[in-house]
């Protein structure tokens, strides 16, 4: 079945380009478009797409607010949101991740990376743009988190520590499996365990915790 995608961007030419790129993929279908966050949230709740692709800067309700409404803390059945933005501003992207975004890309990422991010999000994975992952999360970690990092409810195993680092570096489950020579199901099991121990909602929060606790350095 095709991956159903909702796109929200206030620039019509950008929306048109994203639609053309994604609709050209054999397994992806754009099912809705919105020019602002309020409309995006309305459409998302009605259409229940597999992936929402949101710009950050939009009039009225911006992409961060829209993400929080659909994927933030307390949302019972969160949707997968990927933030795509022109603005390489750390505070914007970090805020989007805190709001529940599963990943983010810059608009110059290219067709292949865009499609890969949508597929990853649809399958419960996440893709964080490699060009900004370490710089972004590392910068915030060294500046100090808003509150002390949570302590795991149970100590991490050696293997979980290894997987923690690969997740923080933006690796997908398949890449982690290949890098550590373990099965895909084993990777998923370890990530589920990490989420439970850290109280993380997704792998992006796992990555942020890794940087906040200095598991990964620039």
pLDDT of 134 higher than 60: no
pLDDT of 170 higher than 80: no
Report the mean per-residue pLDDT for the chain.
Answer: 86
pLDDT of res. 136: 59
The mean pLDDT of 40-61, rounded to a whole number, is 95
pLDDT of res. 142: 55
The mean pLDDT of 190-217, rounded to a whole number, is 83
User: pLDDT higher for 212 or 21?
Assistant: 21
pLDDT of res. 30: 97
Q: What is the 3-state secondary structure (H, E, C) of the chain?
A: CCEEEEEECCCHHHHHHHHHHHHCCCCEEEEEEECCHHHHHHHHHHHCCCEEEECCCCCCCCHHHHHHHHHCCCCCCCCEEEEEECCCCHHHHHHHHHCCCCEEEECCCCHHHHHHHHHHHHCCCCCECHHHHHHHHHHHHHHCCCCCCCCCCCCCCHHHHHHHHHHHCCCCHHHHHHHHCCCHHHHHHHHHHHHHHHCCCCHHHHHHHHHHCCCCCC
Query: Sorting pLDDT into bands at 50, 70 and 90, what band is 216?
Result: confident
Query: Sorting pLDDT into bands at 50, 70 and 90, what band is 164?
Result: very high
Structure confidence by residue, pLDDT tens digits, 78-118: 999 999 888 666 677 777 777 888 877 888 888 988 998 89
pLDDT of 218 higher than 60: no
């Amino acid at each position: 079945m095709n991956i159903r995608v909702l796109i929200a961007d206030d620039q019509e030419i950008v929306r048109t380009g994203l639609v053309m790129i994604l609709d050209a993929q054999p397994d992806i279908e754009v099912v809705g478009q919105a020019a602002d966050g309020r409309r995006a949230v309305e459409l998302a709740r009605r259409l229940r797409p597999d992936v929402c692709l949101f710009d950050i800067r939009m009039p009225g309700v911006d992409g961060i607010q829209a993400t929080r409404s659909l994927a933030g803390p307390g949302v019972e059945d969160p949707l997968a949101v990927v933030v795509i933005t022109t603005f390489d501003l750390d505070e914007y992207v970090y805020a989007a991740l805190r709001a529940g975004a599963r990943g983010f890309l810059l608009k110059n990422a290219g067709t292949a990376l865009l499609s890969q991010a949508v597929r990853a999000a649809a399958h419960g994975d996440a893709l964080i743009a490699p060009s900004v992952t370490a710089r972004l999360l590392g910068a915030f970690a060294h500046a100090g988190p808003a509150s002390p990092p949570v302590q795991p409810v149970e100590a991490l195993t050696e293997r979980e520590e290894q997987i923690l680092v690969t997740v923080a570096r933006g690796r997908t489950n398949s890449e982690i499996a290949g890098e550590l020579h373990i099965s895909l199901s084993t990777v998923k099991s370890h990530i589920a365990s990490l989420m439970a121990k850290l109280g993380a909602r997704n792998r992006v929060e796992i990555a942020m915790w890794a940087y906040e606790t200095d598991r990964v350095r620039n």
